[in-house]
Amino acid sequence: MHSMATAWIEDIAKLTRPDRIVYWHGTTEEYDSLLEEMVHAGKAIRLNPKKRPNSYLFRSDPSDVARVENRTFISTKNQRDAGPTNNWVETSELMATMSKLYEGCMQGRTMYMIPFSMGPIGSRFSKVGIELTDSPYVVVHMHIMTRTGDHVLPYVDEHFIKAIHSVGAPLKPGQKDVPWPCAPIEEKYISHFPEENTIWSYGSGYGGNALLGKKCFALRIASALARKEGWLAEHMLILKLTDPDGEVRYVTGAFPSACGKTNLAMIRPSLPGWKAEILGDDIAWLRMGDDGWMHAINPEAGFFGVAPGTSYRSNPNAMATVSKDTLFTNVALTDDGDVWWEDMTPTAPDHLIDWQGRDWTPLSKEKAAHPNSRFTSPIKNNPAVAPNFEDPDGVPISAILFGGRRPNTIPLIHESFNFQHGVFLGSIMGSEITKAVISKDYGKVRRDPFAMLPFIGYHIADYVSHWLEIGEKYKHEHLPRIFYINWFRKKDGKYLWPGFSENSRILKWILKRCEGEKGARKSAIGYMPRKQDLDLKGLSISETQFDEMFALNPEEWRQEIASIEEHYQIYGDLLPKKLREELDQLEARFAAIHLTK
């Protein structure tokens, strides 16, 4: 191992004082043995091997069930570099706070050293890190979500990402451990130091708070690295599409939470002869390749998906993925040793043990599975995984898809006028706040630019400027075309578009546009398909229904422009000039429509 890594590990061990250190070699034997230890310690439940082979259930503490955005920090020397969308603490101040918390925090526990690669091992696209953690839960999840072990060590150099994690619950001699140790919410810190390529996480054992290769490394730290090095780290799926003639193309897509990103990543096309394969459902790293195309890799090796709402109807590939070799967190346990969550089946079982270990029946007031309960599965489990998932050069991207959940205003699909206009579309992404969320802003649009608002590791103005600079630098190359999707438009409370596998019809139009086919009409917001441009064979879509899916209501767009204007206030004086130009041009186009009428 690199001498710098060895010295760092020794320093952290002196600070945290674990009882022992275990080097993770990345073997199946280690993985199985550690899970066996957790079962015997009451930290995991082995599921019925006949129902769910080699799978386990974990239950977290009720206070530790999701990302803790208000305890997540971007720490830089100057506040301006973190920007208005991040919680900022000055570097030396936060490092002092974290060092004090880490002092002796692993006493009575084991510190695991996990070397890991984000992306195929040895790829020029990939980045390497080491996570030090006192949580065996984190170890087995990192084993699935990243490429871990001895094969990574030759690629550890002075540029490796230093990631430290502790549950923040040292044990005194003879003190009995609890099934899910963690610190109180006010003591949790998810701290990022992009100027030092360092992540320090304390007090939470759950999800992205603790699996530091995921959002912390692959988005927050990587986005800052990408800006320095001239590439993009994005909250995007990667999808491989093959048409009936055998032509292969790839698309990426960024969608806010609850907008169908995972379902699209695992789509089973309804169109005859079309095939879809998945390369990733959550994160994409994009670089311009030597061939003049933008290439993408998925830095992860597994899925960390939300369980509730996943079913054979909504996502059969996901259900096949979790049929074996899967770790579940905070779902319900059936009487025959399997798992269950809301909407998994049309009707609930008569009896379950809920995510907190209590008896549950359909008459119970609380949900059986936590709304943010998860499954963690290797990507190779997915029956639709692309064979070239591990391609070290990535795959060439034809289109980038943006979108949100909007019941009105935004049409089913439209294409940007050009790359700069596409960046504008990414900057205004958002979803309407529904009654499913407790909020005083019900009915308003919550903006989530590029689906990256919680994950940009630096100033949002610099982030959008970086996208614009990529477009300018490579304007003569094969930049992906950019499209905006809204599957969720409604009329009289009912969805106008059937969704799910039928979304392949929209993907077909997108790829035809990428090939240069006309097949569209120019509108005030971009290029939209006419009815004859979409393959609607077999669907009962009336002229009225089609027109409603693509209607541009000037009054709604007047409100939309005002909403965008309000959102842009977060940039202050640093709003990129090109975004202001795009917004002014959008307003002028709708004003021209009004004048002609």
Residue 228, in any domain of the structure: no
Q: Is 374 helix (H, G, I), strand (E, B) or coil?
A: strand
Together in a domain, 294 and 357:
no
Q: Sign of torsion, CA 150 154 158 160?
A: negative
pLDDT the model gives residue 432: 85
Query: Using CA atoms, how far apart are residues 163 and 149, in angstroms rounded to an integer?
Result: 15
Domain that holds residue 262: 234-300+389-596
Together in a domain, 312 and 371:
yes
pLDDT the model gives residue 489: 96
Residue 36, in any domain of the structure: yes
Give per-residue pLDDT as tens, 357-382.
Answer: 999 999 999 999 999 999 999 999 99
Together in a domain, 371 and 273:
no
Together in a domain, 14 and 32:
yes
pLDDT the model gives residue 436: 46
Together in a domain, 451 and 552:
yes
Contacts of 375 (CB under 8 A, 6+ apart): 303, 304, 305, 307, 310, 321, 322, 326, 327, 328, 329, 331
Residue 223, in any domain of the structure: no
* Contacts of 517-524 spanning 24+ positions with Cβ under 8 A: 520/415, 523/414, 523/552, 524/552, 524/557, 524/586, 524/589, 524/590, 524/593
Together in a domain, 198 and 250:
no
Together in a domain, 429 and 563:
yes
Residue 63, in any domain of the structure: no
Residue 324, in any domain of the structure: yes
Residue 222, in any domain of the structure: no
Together in a domain, 589 and 476:
yes
CATH number at residue 563: 3.90.228.20
Q: Sign of torsion, CA 520 521 522 524?
A: negative
CATH number at residue 137: 3.40.449.10
Closest by Cα among 504, 103, 464 to 264: 504
Q: Count structural domains, the chain.
A: 3
Residue 62, in any domain of the structure: no
Residue 225, in any domain of the structure: no
pLDDT the model gives residue 2: 87
Together in a domain, 96 and 147:
yes
Positions annotated as catalytic residues are 259
Together in a domain, 462 and 432:
yes
Q: Which helix (H) or strand (E) holds 202?
A: strand 198-202
Q: 337, 356, 381: which is the final residue of a domain?
A: 381
Together in a domain, 571 and 497:
yes
Low-confidence residues of the chain, pLDDT below 70? 434-443, 594-597
CATH number at residue 353: 2.170.8.10
Together in a domain, 354 and 482:
no
Cα dihedral 13, 19, 25, 30 in deg (nearest 10)? -160
Query: Using CA atoms, how far apart are residues 252 and 283, in angstroms rounded to an integer?
Result: 9
Give per-residue pLDDT as tens, 406-461.
Answer: 999 999 999 999 999 999 999 999 998 754 444 566 668 899 999 999 999 999 99
Closest by Cα among 170, 167, 165, 164 to 106: 170
The pair of structure tokens assigned to 553 is 């209501």
Query: Which pTM does this prediction carry?
Result: 0.96
Q: 356, 381, 406: which is the final residue of a domain?
A: 381
Encoded amino acid at 34, one letter: L
Q: 211, 243, 258: which is the final residue of a domain?
A: 211
Whether 98 and 166 have beta carbons less than 8 Å apart is answered as no
